[in-house]
Amino acid sequence: MEPDKEKQQIEDSKTDPKCFEPLYIKYYEQILRFVYKRIEGLDDSREVTAIVFTKALTNISKYTHMGFPLSSWLYRIAINEINLFYRHTKKTRIISLDMKAVANIAEEENPGAERIVTLKKSLTYLSEEELLLIELRYFEERPFAEIGEILAITENNAKVKTYRVLKKLREVYARID
Protein backbone atom coordinates (compact mmCIF):
# COMPACT_ATOMS: atom_id res chain seq x y z
CA MET A 1 0.00 0.00 0.00
CA GLU A 2 1.48 3.35 -1.01
CA PRO A 3 1.93 5.93 1.75
CA ASP A 4 -0.53 8.36 0.14
CA LYS A 5 -3.18 5.66 -0.18
CA GLU A 6 -2.65 4.66 3.46
CA LYS A 7 -2.88 8.30 4.57
CA GLN A 8 -6.15 8.65 2.69
CA GLN A 9 -7.55 5.45 4.23
CA ILE A 10 -6.63 6.74 7.68
CA GLU A 11 -8.35 10.06 7.00
CA ASP A 12 -11.41 8.26 5.62
CA SER A 13 -11.46 6.00 8.70
CA LYS A 14 -11.79 9.05 10.92
CA THR A 15 -15.27 9.68 9.50
CA ASP A 16 -16.27 6.17 8.39
CA PRO A 17 -15.07 3.16 10.45
CA LYS A 18 -15.68 0.85 7.46
CA CYS A 19 -12.67 2.46 5.74
CA PHE A 20 -10.43 1.00 8.46
CA GLU A 21 -10.89 -2.53 7.09
CA PRO A 22 -8.03 -2.44 4.50
CA LEU A 23 -5.66 -1.17 7.20
CA TYR A 24 -6.81 -3.93 9.54
CA ILE A 25 -6.26 -6.54 6.81
CA LYS A 26 -2.81 -5.13 5.98
CA TYR A 27 -1.50 -5.03 9.55
CA TYR A 28 -3.38 -7.74 11.45
CA GLU A 29 -0.90 -10.60 10.88
CA GLN A 30 2.12 -8.38 11.51
CA ILE A 31 0.76 -7.18 14.86
CA LEU A 32 -0.47 -10.67 15.80
CA ARG A 33 3.05 -12.06 15.17
CA PHE A 34 4.56 -9.26 17.25
CA VAL A 35 2.17 -9.98 20.13
CA TYR A 36 2.54 -13.76 19.83
CA LYS A 37 6.34 -13.56 20.13
CA ARG A 38 5.85 -11.81 23.47
CA ILE A 39 2.90 -13.74 24.88
CA GLU A 40 3.19 -17.12 23.11
CA GLY A 41 -0.38 -18.29 23.81
CA LEU A 42 -2.35 -18.06 20.57
CA ASP A 43 -5.70 -17.35 22.27
CA ASP A 44 -4.16 -14.66 24.50
CA SER A 45 -2.29 -13.22 21.51
CA ARG A 46 -5.46 -13.01 19.44
CA GLU A 47 -7.30 -11.37 22.32
CA VAL A 48 -4.57 -8.76 22.84
CA THR A 49 -4.39 -8.13 19.08
CA ALA A 50 -8.17 -7.64 18.96
CA ILE A 51 -7.85 -5.06 21.74
CA VAL A 52 -5.06 -3.31 19.82
CA PHE A 53 -7.22 -2.91 16.72
CA THR A 54 -10.30 -1.97 18.72
CA LYS A 55 -8.32 0.80 20.44
CA ALA A 56 -6.82 1.87 17.11
CA LEU A 57 -10.23 2.15 15.48
CA THR A 58 -11.70 3.89 18.52
CA ASN A 59 -8.84 6.42 18.62
CA ILE A 60 -8.14 6.81 14.89
CA SER A 61 -9.44 10.40 15.05
CA LYS A 62 -6.48 11.23 17.35
CA TYR A 63 -3.92 9.73 14.97
CA THR A 64 -1.60 12.20 13.27
CA HIS A 65 0.52 11.04 10.35
CA MET A 66 4.20 11.71 11.14
CA GLY A 67 5.75 10.17 8.02
CA PHE A 68 5.73 6.59 9.33
CA PRO A 69 3.40 3.73 8.46
CA LEU A 70 0.35 3.21 10.66
CA SER A 71 2.12 0.09 11.97
CA SER A 72 4.34 2.30 14.18
CA TRP A 73 1.28 3.52 16.03
CA LEU A 74 -0.15 -0.01 16.18
CA TYR A 75 3.13 -1.30 17.67
CA ARG A 76 2.96 1.38 20.36
CA ILE A 77 -0.60 0.33 21.24
CA ALA A 78 0.45 -3.35 21.17
CA ILE A 79 3.37 -2.72 23.53
CA ASN A 80 1.03 -1.03 26.00
CA GLU A 81 -1.50 -3.86 25.75
CA ILE A 82 1.19 -6.53 26.21
CA ASN A 83 2.36 -4.72 29.34
CA LEU A 84 -1.23 -4.55 30.61
CA PHE A 85 -1.68 -8.25 29.86
CA TYR A 86 1.30 -9.15 32.02
CA ARG A 87 0.25 -6.77 34.78
CA HIS A 88 -3.26 -8.27 34.94
CA THR A 89 -2.39 -11.93 34.49
CA LYS A 90 0.78 -11.99 36.62
CA LYS A 91 2.31 -14.32 34.02
CA THR A 92 6.04 -14.24 33.33
CA ARG A 93 7.16 -12.38 30.22
CA ILE A 94 8.53 -14.69 27.56
CA ILE A 95 11.28 -14.08 25.04
CA SER A 96 10.68 -15.88 21.78
CA LEU A 97 13.74 -16.19 19.57
CA ASP A 98 13.78 -17.36 16.01
CA MET A 99 16.98 -18.21 14.13
CA LYS A 100 16.87 -14.98 12.14
CA ALA A 101 16.74 -12.89 15.34
CA VAL A 102 19.58 -14.88 16.89
CA ALA A 103 21.67 -14.51 13.73
CA ASN A 104 21.00 -10.74 13.69
CA ILE A 105 22.15 -10.26 17.28
CA ALA A 106 25.02 -12.77 17.18
CA GLU A 107 26.12 -11.39 13.79
CA GLU A 108 26.77 -14.88 12.46
CA GLU A 109 24.90 -17.08 10.00
CA ASN A 110 24.36 -20.29 12.01
CA PRO A 111 24.88 -19.83 15.73
CA GLY A 112 24.93 -23.16 17.55
CA ALA A 113 22.46 -24.37 20.16
CA GLU A 114 24.79 -23.41 23.01
CA ARG A 115 24.99 -19.81 21.76
CA ILE A 116 21.21 -19.63 21.53
CA VAL A 117 20.81 -20.82 25.13
CA THR A 118 23.44 -18.35 26.32
CA LEU A 119 21.85 -15.51 24.35
CA LYS A 120 18.40 -16.30 25.74
CA LYS A 121 19.82 -16.31 29.27
CA SER A 122 21.63 -13.02 28.57
CA LEU A 123 18.41 -11.37 27.42
CA THR A 124 16.84 -12.03 30.83
CA TYR A 125 19.33 -9.55 32.34
CA LEU A 126 17.84 -6.68 30.34
CA SER A 127 15.13 -4.34 31.58
CA GLU A 128 11.78 -4.22 29.75
CA GLU A 129 12.81 -1.06 27.90
CA GLU A 130 16.19 -2.52 26.93
CA LEU A 131 14.62 -5.75 25.74
CA LEU A 132 12.06 -3.84 23.70
CA LEU A 133 14.81 -1.92 21.90
CA ILE A 134 16.57 -5.18 21.00
CA GLU A 135 13.32 -6.80 19.90
CA LEU A 136 12.28 -3.90 17.68
CA ARG A 137 15.70 -3.54 16.07
CA TYR A 138 16.89 -7.13 15.74
CA PHE A 139 13.73 -9.25 15.88
CA GLU A 140 11.33 -6.95 14.03
CA GLU A 141 14.12 -5.29 11.97
CA ARG A 142 12.63 -1.82 12.38
CA PRO A 143 14.68 1.22 11.33
CA PHE A 144 15.84 3.54 14.11
CA ALA A 145 13.51 6.33 12.97
CA GLU A 146 10.50 4.04 13.36
CA ILE A 147 11.74 2.71 16.71
CA GLY A 148 11.95 6.30 17.86
CA GLU A 149 8.39 6.90 16.70
CA ILE A 150 7.11 3.74 18.41
CA LEU A 151 8.84 4.58 21.70
CA ALA A 152 8.21 8.35 21.48
CA ILE A 153 11.93 9.20 21.45
CA THR A 154 14.17 10.73 18.79
CA GLU A 155 15.77 8.59 16.09
CA ASN A 156 19.21 9.45 17.47
CA ASN A 157 18.16 8.52 21.00
CA ALA A 158 16.82 5.18 19.71
CA LYS A 159 20.16 4.54 18.02
CA VAL A 160 22.26 5.47 21.05
CA LYS A 161 20.10 3.49 23.47
CA THR A 162 20.06 0.44 21.21
CA TYR A 163 23.85 0.39 20.87
CA ARG A 164 24.27 0.82 24.62
CA VAL A 165 21.93 -2.10 25.24
CA LEU A 166 23.77 -4.17 22.65
CA LYS A 167 27.06 -3.42 24.42
CA LYS A 168 25.50 -4.43 27.75
CA LEU A 169 24.11 -7.60 26.18
CA ARG A 170 27.53 -8.53 24.81
CA GLU A 171 29.10 -7.98 28.25
CA VAL A 172 26.47 -10.14 29.95
CA TYR A 173 26.85 -12.76 27.21
CA ALA A 174 30.65 -12.85 27.72
CA ARG A 175 30.22 -13.38 31.50
CA ILE A 176 27.72 -16.21 31.00
CA ASP A 177 29.60 -17.87 28.15
Is 126 a residue whose pLDDT tops 80? yes
Portion of the chain with pLDDT greater than 70, in percent: 89
Quick check: pTM over 0.85?
Answer: no
- What pLDDT shows up at residue 157? 96
How many domains does the chain fold into? Answer: 2
Cα–chain center distance at 173: 23
Based on the domain organization, do 17 and 61 belong to the same domain?
Answer: yes
Based on the domain organization, do 85 and 110 belong to the same domain?
Answer: no
Q: Could you write out the DSSP letters of every residue in 115-143?
A: HHHHHHHHHTTS-HHHHHHHIIIIIS---
Instruction: List the beta strands (DSSP E) in the chain.
Output: none
What CATH number does residue 52 fall under? Answer: 1.10.1740.10
Residues in the chain: 177
Q: What is the pLDDT of residues 66-85, one digit of tens each?
A: 888 899 999 999 999 999 99
Average pLDDT of the residues in 144-173: 93
80 is in which domain, residue-wise? 3-89
- What pLDDT shows up at residue 98? 66
Question: What is d(CA 55, CA 63) in angstroms, rounded to the nearest whole number?
Answer: 11
Under the banding of pLDDT at 50, 70 and 90, the label for residue 173 is: confident
Q: What is the mean pLDDT of the chain?
A: 88
What CATH number does residue 158 fall under? Answer: 1.20.140.160
State the number of CA atoms in the 13 A half-sphere of 131 facing the CB. 19
Question: What is d(CA 137, CA 166) in angstroms, rounded to the nearest whole number?
Answer: 10
For residue 144, give the H/E element and its range.
Answer: helix 144-151
- Listed residues 89, 124, 149: the one ending a domain: 89
Residue 19 lies in a domain: yes
Nearest to 2 by CA among 21, 19, 22: 22
Average pLDDT of the residues in 47-64: 95
Based on the domain organization, do 85 and 7 belong to the same domain?
Answer: yes
Q: What is the dihedral of CA 86, 20, 152, 136, to 10 degrees?
A: 60
Residue 94 lies in a domain: no
